[in-house]
Structures are given as C-alpha cells and as structure tokens.
Amino acid sequence: MLIKPGATLFSYAITRDFGFAPNPFNGICSLATCKPKIRKYAKVGDWVMGVGGSRLKRCKRKCIFLMRVSEIVDFQQYWDDPRFSLKKPSRNGSQVQLLGDNIYHKAQDGTWIQEDSHHSNGDGTINEVNLERDTGSTENVLLSDYFFYFGENAVSIDLGSIGHIRIRDYKKSSINPGTPGEGLIINMTSKYRSTKNMLLGDPISFEHSHKRVDQNTGKLT
C-alpha cells in the first residue's frame, strides 16, 4: 500500500546536505540524527520530505529527498543490527563511509558513545552539543526502503499546495484521500517510480564529506 490510512507527510527545510542526515546510501535512506521532533513523532507509514533551505540557493524550495518510513529502531538497535553495519562511519574510508550516520550506542554504564564521525569534534572527541540534540528527546532512527533521493539534482515541487511556506521546524500535512498531500505523494512516486531507492545526484555538499559540523553554530571544521 503506497499510502497508509491516517499517514502524515512531514516536510522540512534542509540547511546542509552532506549525505549524513538523511543518509541515502547502501539501499536504505536513514534519518538518524538532526530533526529530533520528526524522529520522535513520525510513525511507520508516514512520509518525510526534505526541501532545500535558503542557504542551498540553487536547490532552494526544491525536493532533495522523499521517503516513506518503513521501520523505526532505537540507536542501540541500529548499532547492533548487522543490516546497518555499512552505515557505521570510518574516518579513514570513502566519502560514503566518512558520512556514516550509525554513530550512537551505549557503554556498559549507560553513557552515550558517539563514534568519530561527521557530528564529532574535529579531533574525534564527543561534540556535546550534537550529542544532546541528537539523543536528548528521542532515540528513534527512521529507516526507509522506499525513497527518492535527488541531492544536487533536486526537483521542483508544489510546496504551496500543502502550505509549506515559511516554517520554523517542520510542516505536517494530511495525506488522506483527496488531500493535496496525497496528490503530491502520488505525483512524485508516479513521476520518479523508475528511480526508487536510487541516488539521482550526489549530496549537495558531498565535496565537504571530510568535515565536521556543530549544530549549534553551523560551522564546519
């Protein structure tokens, strides 16, 4: 079933697109960091869409990715599950490995371990700001085996139809039968059905895959 009864579309503006959040690699699109409210409230069957924010000028208000949530796991499950081992970061690896988003798990005493990753400090130590933002309100990781990732080849979309004008965090839209949200999903999945679960472009900032980001300042190191 393409659209689950009662499902919701969550749309938000992407400030930075490195291939980390979302992470569209290895056949699964994952949202494991950032956007804690979406990760907290989204359910299996809901849809998540990221559109270019004002800083991504040539992709501004265009669709960077669209995914249907197929599974939700917590950080420890994500870390322990061999299906997602390729999502673990390797700072000496390829660009894709540099951007692995499977970075959180717990030590025996229950404290968080943040793997050396895109969200760590420049020397690989824990970035406490990123740790708190990523884990503070939810441990949910959203996973999708039905997604469309456009990256630097982001596509135009009728955001006005769902009231996605100026939003602070995210926009919730009904995708019940007959709603504009349903029409948007049907149109996108029909138009791009031959490219499902493929990367139609590199992440917009893929050339900076080796850098780290601080979510508080937005600075790269």
pLDDT at 167 over 80: no
Predicted local distance difference test score (pLDDT) of residue 177: 96
Please state the domain extents for the chain. 8-207
Query: How do residues 77-124 score in pLDDT, each as one tens digit?
Result: 999 999 999 999 999 999 999 999 999 999 999 999 999 999 999 999
Average pLDDT over residues 42-67: 96
Predicted local distance difference test score (pLDDT) of residue 10: 98
State how beta strands 104-106 and 8-14 pair. unpaired
H helical segments located in the chain: 36-41, 75-80, 95-98, 128-135, 180-191
Sign for the CA dihedral angle at 96, 99, 101, 104 comes to positive
89 contacts: CB under 8 Å, gap ≥ 6: 97, 98, 99, 100, 101, 102, 103, 115, 116, 117, 118
Average pLDDT over residues 194-212: 95
- How does residue 35 score in pLDDT terms, banded at 50, 70 and 90? very high
Residue with tokens 């900076």: 208
> For the whole prediction, is pTM greater than 0.85?
yes
Query: How crowded is residue 174: how many other Cβ atoms within 10 Å of its Cβ?
Result: 15
H helical segments located in 60-175: 75-80, 95-98, 128-135
- How does residue 30 score in pLDDT terms, banded at 50, 70 and 90? very high
Taking a C-beta distance cutoff of 8 angstroms, is the pair 46, 12 a contact? no
